[in-house]
Amino acid sequence: MASSPTGTGARNGYFGYKAEEMIGKPITILIPEDRHDEERQILDQIRRGEHVDHYETIRRCKDGTLLHVSLTISPLKDAEGRIIGASKIARDITERRRAQERQKLLVGEIKHRIKNTLATVQAIATQTLRNSPAECEAFVARLHALAGAHDLLTDDNWHQASLTDLIDRALGPFREKHREHFMTDGPDGIFLDAQKSSLLVMALHELATNATKYGALSNEKGQVHLRWEMLQDDQPKRFRLCWTESGGPPVNPPKQKGFGSLLIERAIQDQLGRANLDFDRNGLVCSMEILF
């Protein structure tokens, strides 16, 4: 079965060949030597009657220039339904790939500068709070949580991060010590923008820190159950996230609200949606309804 370079990808000028130069020639003329195996794999798919959609690869022009292309390949059948060839359409995505590389470099530079800034803030805090080691430790831990959120945002997508990744990053250090005391449950496919991602990671970090010091993670019997669910109604798109502690020491409402409580009740409620802290004697319950 032959693979023909016909289609939009083989127009005169696209790869630098005229039509008469390509007629009867193998498609491998356009394929770099280190990619010949992928052509055999593609033809195997076509022989099975399968379509290949938006396959990104590299093809070589007559002058040796390499182009990033997106291929769509379909089997050609005769009147009896037998596969006798393949039709290919190649779209030049070189500029798109270059733009992606430029964006990757830019995001890498932003990530580097953010880390440097947070390192500077950490150094200043360490010096400023050197006579208050407990406060300094708590502040540095918050910086690390914030840095973790930024890592998620800059690894693949500067604009958003998945909820499951945010939860894993925020609770990772606590799960290492209390893995059997954590239960998480909820659907995939929920993404938060940069600002909401940072706020949520900070809130979860505060909840886990307080649970370690005073709540369900401060003994051997306590449990933390974090669950989330999509809300199906006529309101804007949102989900409910609920942090429930049980089995820890008896809970008493704090006489004075700390940073975590203020963060959840003010920042989260103002920026994300709704938030509520219930200091139930059997265990803290924090419920948030978050717009996304």
Tell whether 168 and 265 lie within a shared domain: yes
> 212, 207, 211, 213: which is closest to 260 by C-alpha?
207
Q: Which residue has the higher pLDDT, 120 or 54?
A: 54
| Domain end residue (candidates: 37, 70, 92) | 92
- 59's CB contacts (< 8 A; 6+ apart) are 9, 15, 30, 31, 32, 66, 67, 69, 90
Say how far apart CA 57 and CA 46 lie, in whole Å.
17
So what's the pLDDT on residue 197?
Answer: 85
The predicted-structure confidence for 244-269, as pLDDT tens digits, reads as follows: 999 999 988 888 777 777 777 776 66
27: domain CATH number is 3.30.450.20
Q: Report how many domains make up the chain.
A: 3
pLDDT attached to residue 12: 45
- Does residue 235 sit in the same domain as residue 290? yes
Tell me the whole-structure pTM to 2 decimals. Answer: 0.58
Tens-place pLDDT, residues 81-119: 888 888 888 888 888 888 878 877 766 666 667 677 777
Beta strands in the chain (DSSP E): 2-3, 52-60, 66-77, 83-92, 160-162, 182-185, 191-193, 223-230, 238-246, 273-280, 283-291
User: Which residues does residue 83 pair with via DSSP β-bridges, in sequence order?
Assistant: 77
Q: Please state, rounded to an integer, the average pLDDT across all residues of the chain.
A: 81
User: Which domain, by its residues, includes 63?
Assistant: 2-92
Q: Do residues 139 and 170 both lie within one domain?
A: no
Residues 6 or more apart whose CB falls under 8 angstroms from that of 163 comprise 186, 190, 191, 192, 200, 228, 239
Say whether pLDDT at 4 is over 60: no
Closest CA to 170 of 192, 142, 211: 142
| Single residue among 156, 175, 194 that ends a domain in this structure | 156
What is the pLDDT at residue 34?
86
Asked whether residue 281 carries a pLDDT value surpassing 80, the answer given is yes
Asked whether residue 19 falls in the same domain as residue 107, the answer is no
Check pLDDT > 60 for residue 8: no
Q: What is the pLDDT of residue 156?
A: 54
Pair 167, 292 in one domain: yes
In tens, the pLDDT along 131-169 reads 888 777 777 777 777 777 767 765 555 678 889 989 988
pLDDT bracket for residue 9 (50, 70, 90) = very low
CB-count exposure of residue 232 (10 Å: 0-12, 13-18, 19+): exposed
Let me know whether 11 and 115 are in one domain. no
